[in-house]
């Protein structure tokens, strides 16, 4: 059995990654394989696998009470996104304008979505996303067990409005670069 090298964590030591705040995320495909489509004339054109990656990102907010999604882009071999972790003890509907919800109101009764993750930190959010995308793409390609993503992901804790503005702009303009 091949042993993986010991890797140093790139996470901020002692930081609670379930804390409310904004996080800039980059997740790369395995070996930087251009799997999700192509950029043509500064615009990203998703293929079938890119559509899976895109759609699963937006399901994250439906599955998790403590997540609100911000700017996001799927690129040929990576994704960039901003995840806001919120206080999940906020009342239903408080500061939540998204139509995708983990609680569904029918006839004045609140129903929980089928799945709710017991872990609400950034690592669990990314693991769930990567796992779901991997499973679906491997089903489409009929390649069970094939690695889709690089190990880990990159994150940046967004600490102020100015940084948030610049990162949103970077994500929006990424296909043009």
Alpha helices in 42-152 (DSSP H): 48-63, 122-141
CB within 8 A of 15, min separation 6: which ones?
157
As beta bridge partners, residue 157 has 23
Q: Is pLDDT at 21 greater than 80 in this prediction?
A: yes
Q: What is the pLDDT of residue 118?
A: 53
- Model pLDDT for residues 75-87, shown as the tens digit of each residue: 999 999 999 999 8
- Model pLDDT for residues 126-163, shown as the tens digit of each residue: 999 999 999 999 999 999 999 999 999 999 999 999 99
Choice between 53 and 64, residue whose per-residue pLDDT is larger: 53
Q: What is the pLDDT of residue 111?
A: 40
| Cα(171)–Cα(177) distance, integer angstroms | 10
Query: Percentage of residues in the chain with pLDDT exceeding 90?
Result: 66
Closest C-alpha to 136, from 41, 74, 54: 54
Q: What is the pLDDT of residue 150?
A: 96
| Cα(137)–Cα(146) distance, integer angstroms | 9
**Residue 138 class from Cβ within 10 Å (0-12 exposed, 13-18 middle, 19+ buried)?**
middle
The structure's pTM equals 0.78
- Model pLDDT for residues 97-112, shown as the tens digit of each residue: 433 333 333 344 444 4
């Amino acid at each position: 059995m091949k042993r993986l090298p010991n890797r140093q964590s790139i996470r901020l030591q002692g930081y609670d990654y379930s804390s409310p705040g904004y996080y800039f995320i980059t997740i790369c495909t395995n070996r930087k394989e251009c799997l999700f489509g192509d950029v043509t004339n500064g615009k990203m054109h998703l293929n079938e696998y890119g559509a899976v990656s895109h759609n699963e990102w937006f399901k994250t907010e439906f599955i998790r009470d403590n997540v609100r999604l911000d700017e996001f882009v799927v690129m040929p071999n990576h994704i960039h996104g901003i995840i806001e972790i919120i206080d999940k003890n906020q009342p239903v509907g408080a500061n939540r304008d998204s139509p995708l919800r983990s609680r569904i109101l029918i006839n004045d009764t609140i129903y929980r979505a089928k799945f709710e993750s017991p872990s609400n930190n950034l690592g669990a959010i990314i693991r769930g996303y990567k796992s779901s995308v991997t499973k679906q793409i491997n089903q489409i390609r009929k390649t069970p067990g094939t690695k889709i993503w690089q190990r880990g992901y990159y994150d940046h804790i967004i600490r102020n409005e100015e940084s948030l503005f610049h990162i949103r702009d970077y994500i929006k303009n990424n296909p043009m670069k």
